[in-house]
Amino acid sequence: SGASPMTLNINGQAKSLRLEPRTTLLDALREYMDLTGTKKGCDHGQCGACTVLVDGRRVNACLTLAVMSQGKQITTIEGLAKGDALHPMQEAFLKHDGFQCGYCTPGQIMSGVACVKEGHATTDDQAREWMSGNLCRCGAYPNILAAVREVAG
């Protein structure tokens, strides 16, 4: 086959695997590394369910090729907590009930982390705009916004 060896740095660990060059980062995570916290919604860049951080910036993993992610630090929802300590964004989502069915939640949280880190959460409008690429079918938007704004301080 046309699979080639590659090494991806996921949540601080180097993982070597063989993948077809066209494999998306999303499929690499879910199908080849059992990191199924990152969700596949639309698979076309429309829903944000697959949001991860690459070198600290958010990306849609469904639009990113795994091969292009080599040499970068990839963070998924599985990598946010430090041992038993949840990330402040995870705590805030719990506190504000920032989810209902939970399917969009990992992507929402990763987007929220980037939102705060990049300074886009200083007002409700700004945070809402930044988070607008992350769809929630249950309509938990007000609670998600409250969580992101709380972490922003």
Write out the residues near ligand FES by the rule CB under 6 A.
Answer: 40-43, 45-50, 60, 62
Residue (50 or 140) nearer to ligand FES, CB: 50
- Whether 41 and 50 have beta carbons less than 8 Å apart is answered as yes
Residue (76 or 96) nearer to ligand FES, CB: 76
Least distance from ligand FES to the Cβ atom of residue 138, Å:
16
The set of residues, in sequence order, having a beta carbon less than 8 Å from that of 31 and lying 6+ positions away, is none
Least distance from ligand FES to the Cβ atom of residue 136, Å:
12
Residue (21 or 45) nearer to ligand FES, CB: 45
Structure tokens, 146? 């409250």
